[in-house]
Each structure stands twice: as structure tokens, then as C-alpha cells.
Amino acid sequence: MHERAGQPAQEQDLIDVDQVVAAYYDRRPDVDDPAQQVVFGTSGHRGSSLDGAFNEAHIVAITQAIVEYRAAQGTDGPLFIGRDTHALSLPAWQTALEVLAGAGVTVMIDARDSFTPTPAVSQSILLHNGATSDDGVRTSGPGLADGIVVTPSHNPPRDGGFKYNPPHGGPAGSDATGWIAERANELLRTGGLSRVRRVALDTALTASTTHKHDFLSSYVDDLANVLDLDAIRESGVRIGADPLGGAAVEYWGAIGERYGLDLTVVNPQVDPRWSFMTLDWDGKIRMDCSSPHAMASLVAAMRPDDGGSAPYDVATGNDADADRHGIVTPDAGLMNPNHYLAVAIQYLYGGARPGWPAGAAIGKTLVSSALIDRVAAGLGRTLTEVPVGFKWFVPGLLDGGIGFGGEESAGASFLRTDGRVWSTDKDGLLLALLAAEIIATTGRSPSQHHADLVAEHGESWYARVDAPASREEKARLAGLSPDQVTSTTLAGAEITARLTEAPGNGAKIGGLKVTTADAWFAARPSGTEDVYKIYAESFVSADHLAEVQSAAKQVVGDALA
């Protein structure tokens, strides 16, 4: 823990924006260095121009690869492209548009020449492809749309990011991202960038294939079909929405005005240095709305120094591309993301959405809290447990097989009130507004509802820690089979399951999950550091959680020996 975690950023913590942008254009990546190659994680390619990991050459190569990939897939409709507020997002957006226009791709850019949240891009893709038609979303055939979001999500200000969303509207799967990354690296390695057709920015902006699209109105006007905004307005719930300097900044004001909500945009400032942020746990500026350190200012605002009442009934935060949510209540402060997911599920499936399919399952990632398992059992609903990554929820959200999909890192989405798909990417604005709907319709805060769930299902202690691992050990961990786990107990309890595949869809989890009646842990190798991540939870005590974490290292160590 950094000594200034949770404290306001100081001048020495801030990036030099001109330096970061200049490096984007001036630095040439070393394609022989794995750290400077194109790598798609669960949320696209990310890196810093200062490290040679996110530079103009990368974006030319990735965009050209996307052009070729979508052509090979027969995707010939419009490509919706949005960007967030990071310093590198505008340069990368411009580069991508130059390549897309050069290739003759029909591109839909923001009509306001402004920022676009990830869920708004997903929603626009899905609407174009038939989300509200009786036949549902088309994912094959002529005229289909796809999209790009230029964002590194909650990453520090020095970083850039680039995500591709195919016609299903959600994060691209590994088949797509693997092909795109391999082709992009080939272009970088073989000098293929010189053959990429690219036009000047002014030409790209005025090209016959470039069109303006009102992402904001499309998204805001459609919200009434997924939330009970009338109840929020009529109840007078006071909402404090903090976009944390991200792409949701203009959306929150528009939502409040469009639906007559008592909604205050807590901080409308946009600064690519994020000078107004408090430092995260490691002393970095990071727009992580699930972190109590990054959210310290908003949490403090809900607890006035004079002991008076909180200014809002609920305060919310979003990361830079608004695909994550943070929920702050007067009685509990910042809610643990797992706790809020469980509350949202109990509320939505407990009678708030009678128009949903009767068999709609509950989707969770396998490192999310087992409280969700207990809530699902109490509701009599099927639980679909998938590997880490929101892409695994896409098929279920598309066809209504999953009503709600959520992951432990504060990302989730759910169906429209009539049971049709809303978004297939995470939607932080949606989950933030759901907290206000819960208050409006039940008269109680999400944190009070969580207390009810604890009383019914038991209290749990959850944490993630890292353990050192070499590259070879990480590779072995990712390839484990259940029979390599010889341990029969975990922290004194009998092991009930050893998983290397997700029970919800049989997909490889790239690691190991071990469960007992009252605890579990999951171990997954880091893609960027020489560590593996241990997620663990205990329904016994905080001390027992520590025992589980210690035992997890032993179990993994024995399996890798």
C-alpha cells in the first residue's frame, strides 16, 4: 500500500501530456520485444507510448488487421467508433479513422466530436443489427455493423487502449483477437505498414464513407426501455454521479435532463492528467471506480465533516470508458462490487423484471463471490459460471438465455424490461442508475439490501492477492488438469471440486479453482507480470480467509511441482 493512497494527486504524479502524445508519433516499437508487440487481453490492446507499447505504428497495424478481419468475416456494414478521455485516445482515434477511410470502410463517428462510453458503442451496434426487431440481433449476413472503442478503461493517464467489438456488440472473442493481433504483429515485423492505404485526417473526416452518429441521443433515449426511470423521478431519489473525468461526463447531464431526475454531475471536469483524482492503492492515478482509494473524494463527500446528512441518496462513479460502476451509499460508503452484484441480481430476478424469460439464467465469472451462488439458489434460478472476461456472457445476453451477467471487477449488464438484449458489453451507467431504481422502488439502499442477504445467506470475506511465479510456472498453471491437484483438503475442509474448466460453458479457465462447502480459491497467471493471482473467499471468518489464501499457495505449489 502506497503511503499516499487515497490522497489527492500532486504535481509530480501527473503526466506531461505533450510528452505522451509526442511519443505516440515519434517512437517506433521494437517488434522483437514482446512488451512492444500487439497483445489483446480481455479488454483489447493496452500500453503506453512512453514504453513503445501504444504508438502510431501499433494503431495503423491493428486497424488494418481489423479491416482485413471484418472483410474475411463478411462484415460490410458501418463501423461505429468511439473514444474516451485519455490523452492517447484522440490521436489513436484519428489514426484509425485515416486507415478506415483509406480502406473505404463506412464509419460512424460521434456527432458531437466528443467522447463515447463503451456501452453506447455496443448499444448502437446492436440497434443497427436488429436488437429491437422481432427476429433479434443478426450476427451474420450483409450489412452488419461492428465497432471500435479507443480506451484503456481505468488504466493510468499515460496509457492508451484499443478494443474491437464484432457484430454481436460485445468484446471480441479470442479467435478474433488472436487473428487480429497476429496479423498486426506481422505488419509491424515485415514492413507491411508502408502498404497500408491511409488518407489524411481532413480527407478522412469529409469522406463519403464517414458519417456522424448521435451516440448520446441513441443511448439516453433508449434507457427508458431497460430501467424504471419514472420511478426514480417520481420518488425524488438524489443522485450524485461522478464520471471520474471519463467518457460519461456529458451523458450524465443529458440523462438527468431528459428524464427530469434529481441528478448532479459531481465533477464535470475533463483533464487528461486526471489532476483531481486521489491516488490508488499503489500510488498511481487510476480511474478504478471499485477502489476505495481512487473513490476517496466521492466517499468523503457522502460523509460531511460537520456530521450532517449526505448530499445524495446514492453516489456513483464510472471509469474512463464508463463500462464499470462504483456505488456509494450514505450508510456503507463504497460497496464491494461483489456485494452490489448480488443485490442487483436479487432485485432484478426477485420480481422487478416480469418481462424477462422465465428461464433466464444468472451469469457470473468464476472469481466472483459465492454469495451470488447462494442468491441464485434462493431464487431457484440457474447459475451460469464462466471464465474471467465479459465476452463469455455475450451469447446468453443476445438470446435471453442470461438475464444478467456480472464480473467481480464491477462490470455488468442486463436485459431490457421486455427481455431483449440491451448491451453485450459492460455498462457502468446502467448499473449506477439501477442503484437509484432500487432505492426508488424499495425505499432502501443497496447496502441495506446487502445486509439482508448476509442475514439470509451468511457473511463472507473476499480478497485477491498475488504470488510470485516464473514464466514457466505460469504456463504450467494455465495448462493444469484437475487430476494434478492431489490435495484433499483446503484450510481444514474437504475439497468438493477442482475446476480447470468453467462449469457454465466448459471453457478453459486458464488456471485452477478449488472449492469447499464454505470457501474457495481461484488461481490464474498474470498476463503482464511474473505472478499469479489468487482470488479467495471464506464464509467463516477473516482469519479463515487468510488460511485459505495460504493453503491456496500450497495447493498450487504442489500441483506445479
Q: How far is residue 204 CA from its own chain's centroid?
A: 30
Give the three cell numbers for residue 424.
453485450
Q: Which helix (H) or strand (E) holds 24?
A: helix 17-26
Catalytic member of 48, 89, 122, 153: 153
The strand pair at 493-494 and 497-501 is best described as: unpaired
Torsion of CA 174, 180, 186, 187, to 10 degrees: -160
The CA distance from 345 to 413, in Å, is: 11
Among the listed residues 170, 240, 222, 236, the one whose alpha carbon sits nearest the alpha carbon of residue 432: 240
Distances in Å between the Cα of 453 and the Cα atoms of 8, 85, 274, 365, 504 are: 35, 37, 37, 20, 24
Among the listed residues 161, 170, 184, the one whose alpha carbon sits nearest the alpha carbon of residue 83: 161
Assess whether 526 carries a catalytic annotation: no
Three-state DSSP string of 424-462: CCCCHHHHHHHHHHHHHHHCCCHHHHHHHHHHHHCCCEE
The CA distance from 344 to 339, in Å, is: 9
Among the listed residues 446, 559, 9, 424, the one whose alpha carbon sits nearest the alpha carbon of residue 244: 9
Residue 462: phi and psi, rounded to 5, are -135, 140
Contacts of 157 (CB under 8 A, 6+ apart): 14, 15, 20, 86, 87, 272, 273, 274, 285
Among the listed residues 387, 524, 546, the one whose alpha carbon sits nearest the alpha carbon of residue 466: 524
State the Rg of the chain over Cα: 23
One-letter amino acid of 40:
F
E runs forming strands in 73-178: 79-83, 107-110, 146-150, 159-165
Are the CB atoms for 440 and 235 separated by under 8 Å?
yes
Give the three cell numbers for residue 524.
490464474
The CA distance from 550 to 561, in Å, is: 17
Please identify every residue annotated as catalytic.
153
